[in-house]
Chains A and B, each alone.
Chain A
Amino acid sequence: MADQFPAIIVLAPLFGALIVGLAGSRDHRICFPVVLVSLAVSLFASLGVFLQVLQSGPVSYFMSGWDTEKSVLGAGIELRIDAINGLVLIVIAVVSILVSIFSIRRAGEETTEKTPQFYVLFLLLTVGIFGMTVTNDAFNLFVLVEVSSLTSYALIAMGKARRGTMAAFNYILMGTVGASFYLLGVGYLYLKTGTLNMGHIHEVLTANGGEIGRSPSVMVAFVMILVGLWIKMAFFPLYGWLPNAYSYAPSTSGCILAPLMTKVSVYVMIRVMLGVFGWEWVFGHLGWNHAVVWLAVIAILAGSVLALAQRELKKMLCYLIVAEVGYMVGGAWLADSEGWGMTGAIYHILADAFMTLCLFIAASILVKRCKARRIEDLGGMFKKMPVTMTGFIIGALAMIGIPPTCGFFSKFYLIRGGIESGHWEFVAALILSSLINAVLFFRIFEIAFFGNKPAEGHGHEEGETSEQGSIGEQALSVREARLSTLIPLLVTAAIVILLGVFNGPVIAVIRSAIEPLIAVGG
């Protein structure tokens, strides 16, 4: 049983999706329990495999049993879990469970009678994201990227807002180009190394003093993979698809996509950098760290400034995601000799997933309950919805980076990496963006505390908003949100704080995982 955990993580949601697909249309009520159980099984297996990793090092699982004894390395597909993706797996499982609880009542309202299809797509999305995280096969990663992308296109386009549909179309074009670039990069690597297993590729690239790694086509492969993943994670110049797609998607889709898709893409980038090409190759041979860090600096500043210019709550959060991606990419490329930047980037993946989830759930509740798409409409919300606003504040404080939330500690390690590597521009950008975040959120707090203008529902006669719903209440008697949406919000808020308070053990796990990778490079 225990040795089957790596496969179970991916398979449980897949079987869940099939059961929902078969039985869901007969009785919609069956959907939610199946979703919850299958994701809980995944969480259980992730925890189990993480404990195994802590005890005895990275775990490998060979699909179809084609391990190195029966065949050569790379003949079959290998799943490989080390401490880092063990942590990412747990985060994915927890986030998806929380969003599924959030979606109990929401999904039915937003997708009319397509609830079973929504849940099938939701589960397949988690299958894709789990699979991307565990696989150790470069081509298998492409297939799973496509599973998660296809489902996210549909989750965005199935809302009622016609702008969401247009955003989904742009996302399809950019996402496909990004995935194709990745595929092309893998093709170049395959042509040079003759294998698709990430560990094997690394072996070939570094063998004999790294002579194959020095060829121009390997460099082109790296650039192609990197650009492909940057499109997927919405890194600065390539972020165009993200703001509209996430802000006009149905709120449940937005809540699952915003915390997971970009972060998992960042994780995949880190894995490709460390696991396929290796520390020494990326930072020693290629040596583009300065250029990429500068790009990240621009990403952080641009994301923050664009967020400042937004009047819509969700759009503002989307631009903050763009800035956060800049943090992570920049941190991963700092290349200080101790690897603190990389540590901060990985910790920030975990922290940012929960911060984003917290803010998105809170924003979805606010938008839905009081039709407050715009920030000005939030007047007096503290009195009306104290619990929701508490969750929002905790998420916001984490975004700004105030202790003891996890946002503070991830910034702390990123800044430490920036100082040790001498990238002062990155440190300055981080601090400046924290200040901008503070301005942003305190503006919202001020309106919500002191603004007494009640949200009057600005007569959305256009039928344009995705949050229109079927409720025709104009004079809104805004009450606190439902329990099924408040529980995930508060749990997320609690995790945001707990992950900050107990950052020590998490950081220790990450350090122990990346130190050997750095040591390999010397």
Chain B
Amino acid sequence: MKEFFETSIEPHFNYWVYVILMMIGLWAVIAKNNLIKKLIGMSIFQTAIILFYVSVGVKKGSGIPIIPKAKEAAAGAGEHGAAGAVNPDLFANPLPHVLMLTAIVVGVSTLGVALAVAQQLFKDFGTLEEDEILEQIKTADKASPDG
């Protein structure tokens, strides 16, 4: 057990957490009845992916990806060859951060549109419970079959 923990879980702890978070979100999206709860699940689901990506870009012992005096470092690299160059191990991987900035924005936009649709549904049906909405659609169907 201890060995399993040390070899499988500890080095991948972030990844385990992201999977668990993601499954919580997926469960809510599928199983919850209230539309807003479904949207909360959707947000958790997307956030889990952000956690995953950011975990990919981590390097132990590195700092934030901002290179102070970038110009001088670049000039130094030019003069002294590789010796003055920036050591990539000292800076976190910037790419996942950029990707997740995009994913966050996309998530916010989707959530905004979804909330607008939910509000419109509430206007139309007077409820946000999925089963009640489906019930109303069914009764409307019986009243006019081609509706």
Contacts and interface: CB of A to CB of B under 8 A. Distances in A.
Interface of A: 139, 142-143, 146, 150, 153-154, 157, 162-163, 165-166, 168-169, 172-173, 176-177, 180, 183-184, 187, 190-191, 196, 311-312, 373-374, 377, 458-462, 464-465
A177 B42 contact: yes
B113 A153 contact: yes
B147 A176 contact: no
B81 to A, nearest CB: 19
A177 B29 contact: yes
Contacts of B121: 162, 165-166, 169
Nearest to B114: A172
A150 B114 CA distance: 9
A192 to B, nearest CB: 10
B133 interface: yes
Interface size class of chain B, counting residues whose CB lies under 8 Å from the partner chain: 35 or more
A151 B110 CA distance: 10
Given A180-B49, A374-B146, 16 more contacts: A139-B99, A139-B102, A150-B113, A165-B117, A165-B120, A165-B124, A169-B114, A169-B117, A169-B121, A172-B117, A176-B42, A176-B110, A373-B146, A462-B140, A462-B144, A464-B140
B52 A184 contact: yes
Interface string B84-115: 00000000000110010011001001100110
Contacts of A461: 144
B42 A162 contact: no
B70 to A, nearest CB: 16
Given A166-B121, A166-B137, A183-B49, A172 B147 contact: no
Contacts of B116: 157
Nearest to A175: B110
Given A166-B133, A173-B29, A146 B106 contact: yes
Contacts of A312: 146
A462 B143 contact: yes
B23 interface: no
Given A165-B124, A173-B38, A187 B117 contact: no
Contacts of B110: 146, 150, 172, 176
A154 B115 CA distance: 12
Interface of B: 26, 29, 35, 38, 42, 45-46, 49, 52-53, 56, 95-96, 99, 102-103, 106, 109-110, 113-114, 116-118, 120-121, 124-125, 133, 137, 140, 143-147
17 contacts: A139-B102, A142-B103, A143-B102, A150-B109, A165-B120, A165-B121, A166-B121, A172-B114, A173-B38, A176-B46, A180-B46, A184-B52, A187-B53, A190-B96, A458-B144, A460-B147, A462-B140
B117 A153 contact: yes
Given A172-B113, A374-B146, A190 B45 contact: no
Contacts of B117: 153, 157, 165, 168-169, 172
A183 B103 contact: yes
A39 to B, nearest CB: 24
9 closest A-B pairs by CB: A464-B147, A162-B124, A373-B146, A462-B147, A146-B106, A172-B114, A374-B146, A462-B144, A169-B117
A297 B109 CA distance: 37
A162 B147 CA distance: 11
A45 B108 CA distance: 33
B137 A187 contact: no
B110 to A, nearest CB: 5
Given A165-B117, A169-B118, A176-B46, A190 B56 contact: yes
Contacts of A374: 145-146
Contacts of A459: 144
Nearest to B103: A183
A154 B52 contact: no
A25 B29 CA distance: 37
A458 B35 CA distance: 33
